[in-house]
Amino acid sequence: MSRTLHLALHPYGVGGPAQHGLWKDPRIAKNISTDIRYYIRQAQAAEHGLFDALFTADSQFVSAGFPSHYLNRLEPLTMLSAVATHTRHLGLVATASSTYNSPFNLARRFASLDHISGGRAGWNVVTGVDSGTSRNFGLDEHLDYTTRYSRALECVEVARGLWDSYEDGAFPADVERDIFLDPSKLHQLNHEGEHFKVAGPLNISRSPQGQPVIFQAGVSEEGRDLAARVAEGIYAPGDTSLEQAQEYYADVKRRAASYGRDPEHIKIFVHGDPVVAATDEAALRREREIFEEDHDFDRSLALLGRSFGAYDFSTHDLDAPFPDVAHLAEKGGRTGAVKLIARAKAQNLTLRQVVETVSELRRSPFVGAPQTVADAIERWFDAKAFDGIVLAFRVEDELNLFVDGVVPILQKRGLFRTEYTADTLRGNLGLPVPANRWTTGT
């Protein structure tokens, strides 16, 4: 079966991690992260380019040193519900934490978005990196790494069970027989597990795509395993080499097969920041300019703390050896934090050098004239480094340049669709509609 490239769009607003200077760009309205018209324009441009989905990140904790977009932005499900009414085919993927939400509320909110959009909803399941979130939900401590992933797995399983509360045809709405609901097709879940006790049923039926599509980003062993067990779309590391991307791709697909899943029913996306210009030279210059615009040492120092449970590194001497903070990694982004600590020790880096290392210019493989960028995408796709890319652009003109310049080349090469083939996110990703467990008797 021939593979088809998938594209998703991740709006930056006034600037997320590593886009510290974006809000200063005169082309950027300072309120766009809370302006629904901005997201609607982004979504419509992506739909014009036949993208699969619009993806929105989220967090539930901020401090003054956080990226500009994080400080003042719309809640994803609310925002995507509005976007849904201005689009017809584009998938709508919202990030929501399994650590700080109940599965019943998540299931209901995502099912509602799925109905509003006609079957285009997706849930990016996250466990939470920011340990400070716990204090916003009445807890003194962030859950440890293992517990967060165990809870995430059960949360997804409960949500999927709730999405099956009604079988197809549960609502005959037969006036003559005075029957609105066929009660034999309504089912309680009665789930009792390690983390949740949920009776059900959910008070909303399945959408045209059956259930929202589950996305997940997993880098650690626990993350890769969770992705292989439950995810249908996976966000893979985007700052890796081709060989590292191939390793991740093969590993997650292999793990999925070990769980009895069809690896073709898991679409792996990498994050990409393409820079497209009239010539390769112009694009490389622009990439360097972007780096200079975003290079903000103080914000990079503050952002470093996210991987260590919102730790404040500013209390340390910048020119002293990197502090011993290994014990904090368990409550933050453990995989990245452990790698960073190991590098600091191996190279005897100071705190200042670590900050400069993590914020240094990393050349994207997708920089150049439209044909150069298309060549790179084709090379990575054919090498099975990804099934798709989550694309991010600083300004709307750059998105339009990709849509009008790169997408037609990919289409001519037979890599990307020339029209939407389905009205649902599952359909456009080539994913099956999950059978209702009560219909199949499972």
Ranges 71-75, 215-219, 354-358: which has the least confidence: 354-358
Any idea which fold 6-280+363-440 has?
Answer: TIM Barrel (3.20.20)
Angle (deg, nearest 10), helices 370-382 and 396-405: 70
User: pLDDT tier at 333 (50, 70, 90 boundaries)?
Assistant: low
Ranges 229-243, 281-295, 348-362, 414-428: which has the least confidence: 348-362
Q: Would you kindly state where each structural domain of the chain is located, as residue ranges?
A: 6-280+363-440, 296-358
Ranges 160-164, 280-284, 316-320, 384-388: which has the least confidence: 316-320
Measure the CA–CA gap between 442 and 440, rounded to whole angstroms.
6
The single-letter DSSP state of residue 267 is E
State the CB neighbour count (10 A cutoff) for residue 360. 10
Q: CA torsion 377→381→384→387, rounded to 10°?
A: 110
Q: Give per-residue burial for 134-156: e unless 16+ CB within 10 Å, then b.
A: beeeeeeebbebeebbbbbbbbb
HSE-up (13 A, CA, CB side) for residue 52? 26
Is the Cα torsion angle 136, 138, 143, 149 positive or negative in sign?
A: negative
Mean pLDDT of the chain: 91
Beta-carbon contacts of 36 under 8 Å, excluding residues fewer than 6 positions away, are 74, 79, 82, 83
Whole-number pLDDT of residue 124 = 96
Is the Cα torsion angle 29, 365, 390, 219 positive or negative in sign?
A: negative
The average pLDDT across 52-63 equals 91
Tokens found for residue 74 = 């719309």
Whole-number pLDDT of residue 329 = 67
Ranges 296-305, 332-341, 407-416: which has the least confidence: 332-341
User: pLDDT tier at 135 (50, 70, 90 boundaries)?
Assistant: confident
CB 368 within 8 A of CB 402: no
Q: Which helix (H) or strand (E) holds 352?
A: helix 351-358
Beta-carbon contacts of 111 under 8 Å, excluding residues fewer than 6 positions away, are 121, 163, 202, 204, 206, 207, 212
- Is the pLDDT at 441 greater than 60? The verdict is no
Ranges 63-72, 115-124, 200-209, 278-287: which has the least confidence: 63-72
The average pLDDT across 245-269 equals 96
HSE-up (13 A, CA, CB side) for residue 260? 0
CB 213 within 8 A of CB 111: no
Measure the CA–CA gap between 329 and 341, rounded to whole angstroms.
10
State the CB neighbour count (10 A cutoff) for residue 255. 20
State the CB neighbour count (10 A cutoff) for residue 350. 16
Ranges 42-51, 121-130, 330-339: which has the least confidence: 330-339
Q: What is the pTM of this model?
A: 0.89
CA 43 vs CA 8, 28, 54, 83, 227: distances in Å: 10, 17, 6, 7, 26
> Strand 197-198 and strand 191-192: pairing?
antiparallel
CB 393 within 8 A of CB 303: no
Distance of CA 21 to the CA centre of its chain: 23
Whole-number pLDDT of residue 387 = 97
Tokens found for residue 178 = 């005075």
The average pLDDT across 135-141 equals 84
More confident residue, 223 or 125: 125
Is the Cα torsion angle 244, 248, 254, 258 positive or negative in sign?
A: positive
Helix, strand, coil fractions of the chain, as percent rounded to 5:
45, 10, 45
